[in-house]
């Protein structure tokens, strides 16, 4: 039996999907590209990440072997447009090290690890926090975990589903408890919330005419 918050969440999801259509997330041609994007987009606009991704593709190093081979300082210059570039070059290197140590650079092997131990492992990598770990698990590996981000918190708070001070795990736990495990829905819901946050709350009008008006 679904709680009252669950009903609001479902209504929210259905309205957003109907009004905005499927978002086809995550943009990226491979799981590895999705992971790199997840790290590069930390506190950074996606437009800037796209430039960095495009540079990586041009250099032919948007793959595990290529990224392992490139020099850290050179990598930093290549991803410069994404901002925090020295920091992020380190983080990408740390992830690739982890990827080879734990999974021998094999995405299928990574995918075959169970969700909880995978999340635990990812969180130990310096530079991978809860949102990045969950984005990797959901969007690169297709496992059922709900991704929380700044937009999600803001929208849920404004619709009285959470308080402002709920932790990441509390928000995530609420959603997963109410909705049950559904990879397809988690995928679409998070994408829709980000889209709404970017192009409606900030971009175009304000609250007037918003698909969630009155909820």
Partner DNA sequence: GACCAGGCACATC
Partner DNA sequence: GATGTGCATGGT
Q: Which is nearer to DNA, 110 or 192 (CB)?
A: 192
Nearest to 50 by CA among 99, 83, 91, 75: 83
Find the shortest distance in angstroms from Cβ 207 to DNA: 15
Q: Which is nearer to DNA, 16 or 128 (CB)?
A: 128
Binding site residues, DNA, CB under 7 A: 25-27, 37-38, 41-48, 51, 80-81, 83-88, 123, 125-133, 135, 139, 149-151, 165, 167, 194, 197-198, 202
The C-alpha atoms of residue 51 and residue 117 are separated, in whole angstroms, by: 33
The C-alpha atoms of residue 94 and residue 101 are separated, in whole angstroms, by: 11
Find the shortest distance in angstroms from Cβ 163 to DNA: 11
Find the shortest distance in angstroms from Cβ 1 to DNA: 31
Q: Which is nearer to DNA, 36 or 212 (CB)?
A: 36
**Could you please report the per-residue DSSP string of 166-196?**
--HHHHHHHHHHHH---HHHHHHHHHHHHHH
Find the shortest distance in angstroms from Cβ 4 to DNA: 25
Q: Are 94 and 72 in contact (CB under 8 A)?
A: no
Task: Please give the torsion angle defined by the CA atoms of residues 147, 148, 154 and 156, in that order, rounded to the nearest 10 degrees.
Answer: 70
């Amino acid at each position: 039996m679904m709680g009252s918050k669950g009903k609001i969440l479902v209504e929210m999801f259905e309205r957003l999907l109907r009004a905005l259509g499927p978002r086809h997330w995550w943009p990226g041609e491979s799981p590895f590209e999705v992971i790199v994007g997840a790290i590069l987009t930390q506190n950074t606009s996606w437009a800037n990440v796209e430039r960095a991704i495009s540079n990586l593709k041009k250099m032919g190093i948007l793959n595990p072997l290529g990224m392992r081979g490139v020099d850290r300082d050179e990598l930093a210059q290549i991803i410069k447009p994404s901002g925090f570039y020295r920091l992020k070059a380190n983080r990408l290197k740390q992830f690739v090290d982890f990827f080879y140590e734990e999974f021998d650079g094999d995405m299928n092997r990574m995918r075959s690890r169970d969700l909880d131990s995978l999340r635990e492992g990812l969180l130990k990598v310096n530079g991978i926090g809860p949102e990045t770990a969950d984005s990797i698990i959901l969007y690169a590996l297709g496992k059922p975990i709900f991704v929380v981000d700044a937009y999600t918190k803001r929208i849920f708070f404004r619709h009285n589903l959470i308080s402002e001070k709920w932790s990441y795990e509390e928000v995530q736990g609420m959603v997963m408890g109410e909705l049950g495990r559904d990879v397809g829905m988690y995928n679409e819901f998070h994408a829709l919330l980000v889209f709404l946050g970017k192009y409606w709350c900030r971009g175009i009008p304000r609250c007037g005419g918003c698909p969630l008006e009155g909820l």
